Amino acid sequence: MASDIIDSTKERMQKTISVLKTELGGLRAGRANAQLLDRIMVDYFGTPTPIQQIGNISTPEPRMLLISVWDNKLIPAVEKAIQKSDLGINPSNDGKVIRLLFPELNEERRKELVKIVKKKGEESKIAIRAIRRDANEQIKKDEKDNLITEDDRKFLDDKVQKLTDDLVKEIESILVTKEKEILSV
């Protein structure tokens, strides 16, 4: 029972980190990154389909993404999906491939992106702490119901706290890496 609490807590906290990484991967940092296209869905014969499933995405240059669509009839649909997205980039095509050219970010935009990164990091830390609180409440409830002893409770509390501390450090590390990526010219 006690190990179930730790396992489920760890799993929920890892999901929070995973969500943070996905969100940060979608932030444009002046460099072309195929992850930017992860959230974009293309109308593929009436079915919303991720771009990755209808073509190859490559990065021939640091600030360019090249999308080679397997069915050339889908090029207009892919362009339309990219234009509708929040990327703010106009695609161009030559009938065979779609090119996305990422402009250099100015200093003001970089600072805005760093603020967004910090905000998302703080939201993740809050989520981790909420998960810790839920776990601690469950542990106290189990002790009250005589499912675990006082020593078990103290041991589990320490374990949950260590897990929380480790994952908050991991979030900090992820944030520092993303900030460096954004601020590097």
Element (H, E) at 167: helix 150-183
Give the pLDDT band of residue 81 (cuts 50, 70, 90).
Answer: confident
Angle (CA) 72-50-109 rounded to 5° is 105
Whole-number pLDDT of residue 128: 95
What integer best gives the mean pLDDT of the chain?
A: 86
Instruction: Read off the pLDDT of residues 131-173 as tens digits, 9 standing for 90 and up.
Output: 999 999 999 999 899 888 889 889 999 999 999 999 999 999 9
174 close to 17: Cβ distance less than 8 angstroms: yes
Instruction: Read off the pLDDT of residues 96-115 as tens digits, 9 standing for 90 and up.
Output: 888 888 777 778 878 888 88
Nearest to 140, CA basis, from 127, 131, 152: 152
Q: Which fold has domain 2-25+106-183?
A: Topoisomerase I; Chain A, domain 4 (1.10.132)
57 close to 49: Cβ distance less than 8 angstroms: no
Whole-number pLDDT of residue 2: 67
Q: Which CATH class is domain 34-101?
A: alpha beta
**What are the Cα distances from residue 24, in Å, to 36, 159, 178, 179?**
9, 28, 7, 10
Whole-number pLDDT of residue 60: 85
The answer on pLDDT for 26 being more than 90 is no
Query: For residues 31 and 151, which has the higher predicted lDDT (pLDDT)?
Result: 151
Helix (H, G, I), strand (E, B) or coil at 105: coil
Q: Is the pTM of this model over 0.85?
A: no
Whole-number pLDDT of residue 179: 87
**Domain map (residue ranges) of the chain:** 2-25+106-183, 34-101
